[in-house]
Structure 1
Amino acid sequence: MAASELLKSRVENLRDYELVVILTTDTPKEKVEAILEGISKTIAEKDGSFTEVNHWGKRKLAYLIGRYGEGYYVFIKMKAKPSSIRKINADLRISEQVIRHMAINMDEE
């Protein structure tokens, strides 16, 4: 197998990720669900899926982020391709309801 084929096959494999999204506390429940649905749809387009979703609820932030001292936390475990994660990061970055987010690849050691 050529090096480029090996790299391509590795990049396109599903990987385990954990994603934490901190939303503004004034985000309506419907909007929270719409954001989660958008993430789910993005990873489903490339054969990924959520394995776990936990709503941690409203929590105090360790420090102010912008004008926010509290946020609504959502923790997601998922199987996704790296290209899906790039799109999710881009979408969350421009969302007005998202204070902060972080996706971590759990397969890397």
Structure 2
Amino acid sequence: MPLYEHVFLARQDISPQQVDTLVEQFKGVVEANGGSVAKTELWGMKTLAFRIKKNRKAHFTMFNIEAPHAAVAEMERQMRINEDIIRFMTLKVEEFEEGPSAMMQKRDRDERKDRERGRRRDDEGGEFGAPVTGEEA
């Protein structure tokens, strides 16, 4: 069966419980049409780059779906008529990526601090990216 990654955006003014209800509803549509949802990730509420249907933020959710095209088409049809869904996108993929998606991976704060230290040292005439020792800090 084909594999799909599907992301949808729900309106900012609905509650997280309503988002969970939407997730269960669309999972049910896929499963009723002979498919399965391998993974679900709730990415939370994020700010949009531009307003979509008068919304500045949205609840983001991703599905990894293994289903026939008809199941995905039916899910998309129901999303089009649901007023709580403001956007969605489905991509056909060769295989699912292992582990959490890029949106769920925690960025290493120490890595950012090292970059900031490197910029400070560069501004002071030091070598960019050189480690900062205790005496210099």
Q: Which of 79, 83, 99 is the matching residue for 1:96?
A: 83
Between the aligned partners of 2:69 and 2:53, the Cα distance in structure 1 is: 29
- Structure 2 residue 23 is matched with structure 1 residue 36: yes
2:49 match: 62
User: CA shift at 1:99, angstroms?
Assistant: 0.9
- TM-score normalised according to structure 2 size: 0.64
Higher relative contact order (CA 8 A, sep 6+): 1
Counterpart residue identity of residue 93, structure 1: R
User: CA shift at 1:42, angstroms?
Assistant: 1.4
2:7 match: 20
User: CA shift at 1:30, angstroms?
Assistant: 2.7
Count of matched residue positions in the alignment of Structure 1 and Structure 2: 94
1:50 match: 37
User: CA shift at 1:90, angstroms?
Assistant: 0.7
Counterpart residue identity of residue 19, structure 2: V
Please provide the CA RMSD for this pair. Answer: 1.2
Between the aligned partners of 1:36 and 1:92, the Cα distance in structure 2 is: 11
Query: Could you say which structure has the higher strand fraction?
Result: 1
Moved over 6 A (4+): none
Extract unaligned runs of 5+ from structure 2.
Answer: 95-137
Moved more, 83-92 or 32-41: 32-41
User: CA shift at 1:64, angstroms?
Assistant: 0.8
1:87 match: 74
Matched-pair contact (CA < 8 Å) for 2:19–2:59: no
Between the aligned partners of 1:40 and 1:55, the Cα distance in structure 2 is: 13
- TM-score normalised according to structure 1 size: 0.80
